[in-house]
Amino acid sequence: MLEVILCSLVTILPDYLLRRRFQGKRWGQEITFFTVWYELRWGITLCAMLTITLITIVFYYHPSTSNVASFFRTVTILSEQGGRVSDVYVEINSEVAAGDPIFRLDSSSQEAAAETARRQIAEVEAALVLAEAQRAASVAAVDQAVAAFEQTHEDLERQRELRNRGSAAVSDRDVQLLENELGVKQGQVDAARAGVEAVDAQISVQLPAQRATAEAALAQAVNEIEKLTVYAGVDGTIEQFTLRVGDIVSPVLRPAGILVPSEAGRNRFQAGFPQISAQVVKAGGVAEIMCVSKPFTVVPMVITEVQDVIAAGQLRPSDRLGDAQNMGAPGTITAFLEPIYPGQTDDIPPGSRCLANAYTYNHALLEDPELGFGQRIFLHVVDTVGVVHAAGLRIRSLLLPLQTLVFTGH
């Protein structure tokens, strides 16, 4: 409608004034509702052609969309394992900081496992003390066996010396018995020393390994106990949190609530422009938005990024071949918008639905001295007609409360 009014000012209105002033035709006599087409045919035809051209230029070079929102990511409040709630530290809509506890599950079984591990460590400590005493006894047994071996060795040497002198008091049988006894004493010494080595191995290898196993079990039990307390990972607000003591929480079926990060969706909007605008919507372009949650306000934005793929073409592997004719909606060009001036979108809640206009800006091209006259005129026209779309956005901003509250009743 705005385009028709503007175009009629330079087509139908001059045609009417020409016929009124120079041809003497008057409205209601020569020019009536029945003769308006014949009398103003040139102006009406030119107005229609100019309106269609203007609408095409405006909507192509200055695209608009109502698919604008500030999407935000939420964090599901879940424990790593299921269990019954024993303590709740926050309430719904509570503000939490990163690291604050939210709730805790019952830890009786994990506490029992930790106590068992502590008992096992105490048993290993007692076994070490006992092993030290056993080692002392083994060392004493070695000394005793060595002393007995030396005594038998001295007796054997004495008997051999007497036999070599030809004494009748010593027989070969006596010497042989002492030699056998000396072998037995040597075996006892070796056995005593082996006992010391066994106790040393128990002290240095077996018992430390058992202690390390018990300490690892204790560390695991303590870790499981710590996991039973769920903490906030980021600063945010607790939403949909109705957890109470005694409730069952499952990481698969029963989450505890939702944590909305404080910076989620703030000052960043996602807009879906028609595919025909793919060659116009570029990073660095200028745009404007108007949100339902903040009427009567148009916020200047800048396009910071344009998604290089269209979501409608996404393909997931399955057991059926895809057919192009089965595709749904054609999809849109996703652009990411941020305010040019900081703070202008701070009071727009995340998730708000908005309207957006993107504008083609040819100032840099117009500074090119090699640009032709016709191209220069066309680029000036493109930049100028953006005012039409800007005016339309502001009119919609003024009419939005009336449309929302009166005509739709929402």
CA 282 to centroid of chain Cα atoms: 27
Q: What is the pLDDT of residues 94-144, one digit of tens each?
A: 888 988 999 998 888 888 888 888 898 888 888 888 888 887 887 777 778
Q: Which stretch, 1-10, 28-37, 295-304, has highest mean pLDDT?
A: 295-304
**Nearest to 260, CA basis, from 233, 238, 242, 232:** 238
pLDDT at 261 over 70: yes
pLDDT number for residue 243: 83
pTM for the full model?
Answer: 0.68
- At 393, is the pLDDT very low, low, confident or very high (cuts 50, 70, 90)? confident
- Tell me whether residue 324 is in a domain: no
pLDDT at 156 over 70: no
Percentage of the chain exceeding pLDDT 90: 8
Please indicate, yes or no, whether residues 237 and 97 belong to a single structural domain of this protein: yes
- Tell me whether residue 320 is in a domain: no
Span 377-391, average pLDDT: 84
Please indicate, yes or no, whether residues 30 and 169 belong to a single structural domain of this protein: no
Please indicate, yes or no, whether residues 371 and 279 belong to a single structural domain of this protein: yes
Please indicate, yes or no, whether residues 47 and 9 belong to a single structural domain of this protein: yes
Please indicate, yes or no, whether residues 17 and 163 belong to a single structural domain of this protein: no
β-strands 64-69, 353-359 pairing? antiparallel
The Cα 14–Cα 2 span in angstroms is: 18
Please indicate, yes or no, whether residues 142 and 204 belong to a single structural domain of this protein: yes
Which of 237, 261, 285 is the last residue before a domain boundary? 261
Q: What is the pLDDT of residues 320-379, one digit of tens each?
A: 777 777 776 788 889 999 999 988 888 888 888 899 999 988 877 877 788 888 888 888
Domain tally for the chain?
4
267 near 338, Cβ under 8 Å? yes
3-class secondary structure for the chain?
A: CHHHHHHHHCCHHHHHHHHHHCCCCCECCCECCCCHHHHCHHHHHHHHHHHHHHHHHHHHHCCEEEEEECCCCCEEECCCCCEEEEEECCCCCCEECCCCEEEEECCHHHHHHHHHHHHHHHHHHHHHHHHHHHHHHHHHHHHHHHHHHHHHHHHHHHHHHHHHCCCCCCCHHHHHHHHHHHHHHHHHHHHHHHHHHHHHHHHHHHHHHHHHHHHHHHHHHHHHHHHCEEECCCCEEEECCCCCCCCEEECCCECCEEEEECCCCCCCEEEEECHHHCCCCCCCCEEEEEECCEEEEEEEEEEEEECCCCHHHCCCCCCCCCCHHHCCCCCCEEEEEEECCCCCCCCCCCCCEEEEEEECCCHHHHCCCCCCHHHHHHHHHHHHHHHHHHHHHHHHHHHHHHHHHHHCCC
147 near 118, Cβ under 8 Å? no
- Tell me whether residue 354 is in a domain: yes
pLDDT number for residue 303: 93
CATH classification at residue 93: 2.40.50.100
Please indicate, yes or no, whether residues 135 and 269 belong to a single structural domain of this protein: no
pLDDT at 62 over 80: yes
Span 67-93, average pLDDT: 87
- Tell me whether residue 325 is in a domain: no
Please indicate, yes or no, whether residues 162 and 97 belong to a single structural domain of this protein: no
Q: Which two tokens stand for residue 263?
A: 């910076």
Span 233-254, average pLDDT: 84
pLDDT at 271 over 60: yes
Q: Domain range for residue 14? A: 1-56
Task: Please enumerate, as own/partner, the contacts of 37-43 that have beta carbons within 8 Å and a separation of 24 or more.
Answer: 40/12, 40/15, 40/16, 42/15, 43/8, 43/11, 43/12, 43/13, 43/14, 43/15, 43/16
